[in-house]
Amino acid sequence: MNFNNLEKIGQKELDRQGKYKRRIFCCTSTACLSAGAGQVHTSLDQSVEACRCDEHEAEVVKTGCMGLCSSGPLVRVEEKEKDPILYGNITSELAQQLVSRHVPIGEIDDELEEGDQDLSVTPHDMLHYRASLKKAGKKSDLDKNIISLDHPFFSKQVKVVLNETGIVNPDKLEDYLAHGGYQALAHVLENMTPEEVCDEILESELRGRGGAGFPTGMKWNFVRKEGAEDKFVIVNGDEGDPGAYMDRTVMEDDPHRVLEGMIICAYAVGASAGYLYIRGEYPIAINRIRKAIRDARRRKILGKSVLGTDFMFNADVRIGAGAFVCGEETALIHSVEGKRGMPRMRPPYPSTSGLWEAPTVINNVETMANVPSIINNGADWYASIGTEKSKGTKVFALAGHLRNTGLIEVPMGITLREIVYEIGGGIPENRGFKAAQTGGPSGGCIPEEYLDSPVDYESLNKLGSIMGSGGLVIIDDTTKMPDFANYFMEFCVDESCGKCLPCRVGTVQIGKLLDKLIAGDGSQEDIEQLENLCETVKTTSLCGLGQSAPNPVLSTLKYFRNEYDELVQQAQTADSGLN
Amino acid sequence: MTTKKPIRPEEEVHPSGDERYLAIDRTMKQFKYERDSLLEVLNAAQEVFGYLSRDLLIYISTQLKVPMSQVYGVATFYHLFTFEPQGEHNCIICKGTACHVKGADRIIEALSEEFNINAGETTPDGLFSLTIARCLGSCGLAPVIVLDGQVYGKETPEAVSRRAAEVVSRSKEELTQTMEVG
């Protein structure tokens, strides 16, 4: 074991960080980058430079997602012995003001030094900002951009998977080590047998976060018990569900956490190679995971001798090319093998015959990211969070008609009402709540009367929806439910791989019936046929895609039947009007 | 002492005369020309060329010794691969759930009308393509569009149309100027 070296590197980084009086964190996750975080980061850097202060006065740090994506770009200032301050909607110019407010300005000559004219932020600018800040007294324009960290959006969350996102620099292995990274792996390699690791995960009652909720420890045990020489670990990062970006955020913002979970899994099941299958639409996630793998290899965390032990493990990235069905495990395996991503009959399950017919563990990114925390804090700790059957936390991408949207991590069992009205801040523009859609095209719509039900696997299933991978879209009363159901059906028509008939033909026919109803040409019989067809597709399709594709239609039929009836009535009145 | 390694001549030119093929060769080499690497090679080809032409697919098929039918089958299965060259300007409209409920359809309609093309098509003059994305994952900024690589959030149909029309008319002007000069 040579974990001591890594610990030393982590400690050195921690000491280095401790020397700075203040650290300015700038979110560089996809959502904030889209809102202009790239320029903000450059501007922060240049402004700190322009302050001409002592080197240890301030450091600008690139981090991952801070959660409140609707107010991006986000910047957080942490000063020693002071409460952190979070700023939202920062522009390049506001970034300069922000620096002048927090960072002391050193000695600056009246005359600009040579080369200063070419800078986009000169020391004189900083003096100017400082002066106008003084003039304005305590009331500065910047105050409007401060977001209270006591807001329920932050205080209601419990962070396990997202514990270090927004704090560590995702491109720096040292930073992850400084925050206790790879300690779980070191502990596992030194003190635990593969069987003990599987049992620990089993006891934590961690369930697959890809949506189906299969007990992770059980899956690992199946593969561990297989006698094959070659075994594989695949991390499923093919997040095709529209409106969901949890896995991308974890991969982008804390890549080493995913990698650590993956290596622990490989040790537990006896695999020597693994793949991270990442959606092609996620270039930043791909680059950061690749860098994490390179760095881990260099530090001997991956390779022939992991941390100096005789356990060997190699990880590589495979890029998906945009097929929703590849989220299904057998389809994903085919895709990694370079084939069309089509599912096959199960059994045999991948745990007996997976990638290249070898026993294979496939887990979602979020599932893997839970593993290091479980090892570090113990199975009991993890099992103490959540409800009786659903333990731990769940990350949701909260979107739609809400005041606060972004990425949240909540304990299982929290009510939808708390998520919508406290974390999400309610529906804007004085509109009413209509439905919460979980699980994307495979999930369902939950109406207002069930807002107090807890968010866990069983409760959501009972309501005709699913936990899904973590997309949570809130819609207000301006949305027509048949239209909304049709939107998801169009998606499934497009994404059906075409292998089995119920899904290939059924989804198209469901779509046609919906079109007919929406166009005002439908009758009650069409609604009945729609219901029957949905049941047929649900029960007879080959894989999860087809089996769950009717959920949006079925759940809206169940809870918003009146809207379908209205469409039929309108059609009838229009007809009688013509006569 | 550092001496620069002489560049080997065979690395400079590709037999096809198109040096972009070198990048594809590199990817294939990296995967030791294994058939399993087909998807990775196609990904690289799409990135380098911007679209997969018939010649390109034949080349990959021969090099990897995978039947053309399989190469074509895999390439057409995945959404990221395109088989026609893209327009000079490209506008991607996100149609994820969050963007959908916030009116992405109206933006698509506005652009279709402005340029007289359907989603997924390119204008006959090759200046503008209208592309649909499943979800760009910037749901907090919905509705989101990407115009020539630049992301714009919280958009309206009018603003997108205006912005797209601007970049295209600028290209048109440049084109007429060069023609006049010529």
Task: Please check the confidence at residue A572 and state whether its pLDDT lies above 50.
Answer: yes
Angle (CA) A323-A347-A267 rounded to 5° is: 80
* Global pTM value: 0.92
Output the DSSP codes for A74-91. Answer: -EEEEETTS--EEE-S--
Select the residue of A244, A335, A399 nearest B140 (Cβ to Cβ): A399
Counting DSSP H helices and E strands in chain B, the numbers are 8, 4
In CATH, the number for domain A180-383 is: 3.40.50.11540
The string over B89-123, giving b where at least 16 C-beta atoms fall within 10 Å of a residue's C-beta and e elsewhere, is: bbbbbbbbbbbbbbebbebbebbeebbebeeebbb
B40·A338 Cβ contact <8 A: yes
The proportion of chain A whose per-residue pLDDT surpasses 90, expressed as a percent, equals 82
Domain A393-474: which topology? Ubiquitin-like (UB roll) (3.10.20)
Angle (CA) A126-A44-A170 rounded to 5° is: 165
Q: Which amino acid is at A480?
A: K
pLDDT at residue A194, rounded to an integer: 97
Select the residue of A322, A342, A405 nearest B80 (Cβ to Cβ): A322
- What token pair was written down for A462? 């009972």
Architecture label for domain A19-148: 3-Layer(aba) Sandwich (3.40)
B121 vs B86: CA distance, rounded Å: 9
B172 vs B155: CA distance, rounded Å: 25
pLDDT at residue B1, rounded to an integer: 45
A80 vs A176: CA distance, rounded Å: 21
The sign one gets for the Cα dihedral A238, A243, A247, A251 is positive
CA of A410: how far to CAs of A86, A272, A395, B9, in Å?
20, 34, 6, 59
pLDDT at residue A234, rounded to an integer: 97
Q: Spell out the CATH class of A482-578.
A: mainly alpha
A322 contact residues in B (CB cutoff 8 A): 78-80, 134
A238 vs A278: CA distance, rounded Å: 5
B127 to chain A, minimum CA–CA distance in Å? 24
Q: What are phi and psi of B104, to 5 degrees?
A: -60, -35
Question: Lowest mean pLDDT: which of A173-182, A238-247, A477-486?
Answer: A238-247
A534 vs A542: CA distance, rounded Å: 14
With beta carbons less than 8 A apart as the criterion, state whether A249 and A239 touch: no
Output the DSSP codes for A405-462. Answer: -EEEEEETT-BHHIIIIIIS---STTPPEEEEEESGGGSEEEEGGGTTSB-SHHHHHH
Q: Where are the domains of chain A?
A: 19-148, 180-383, 393-474, 482-578
Give B17's pLDDT tier (boundaries 50, 70, 90): confident
Would you tell me how many other CB atoms lie within 10 Å of the CB of residue A565?
12
With beta carbons less than 8 A apart as the criterion, state whether A371 and A268 touch: no
pLDDT for B64-94, tens place per residue?
A: 999 999 999 999 999 889 998 989 999 999 9
Half-sphere exposure at residue B80, Cβ-oriented, CA atoms within 13 angstroms: 22
pLDDT for B97-145, tens place per residue?
A: 889 989 999 999 999 999 999 998 999 999 999 999 888 888 888 899 9
Give A1's pLDDT tier (boundaries 50, 70, 90): low
Instruction: Give the list of residues 6+ apart from residue B49 with CB closer than 8 angstroms, or none.
Output: B20, B56
A70 contact residues in B (CB cutoff 8 A): 140-141
Closest CA to A315 of A375, A372, A259: A259
Residue of A nearest to B42 (CA): A321
A400·B98 Cβ contact <8 A: yes
- Kindly report the average pLDDT of chain A as a whole number: 93
With beta carbons less than 8 A apart as the criterion, state whether A507 and A537 touch: yes
Task: Please check the confidence at residue A393 and state whether its pLDDT lies above 90.
Answer: yes
pLDDT at residue A577, rounded to an integer: 67
Select the residue of A30, A320, A479 nearest B137 (Cβ to Cβ): A30
A161 vs A372: CA distance, rounded Å: 9
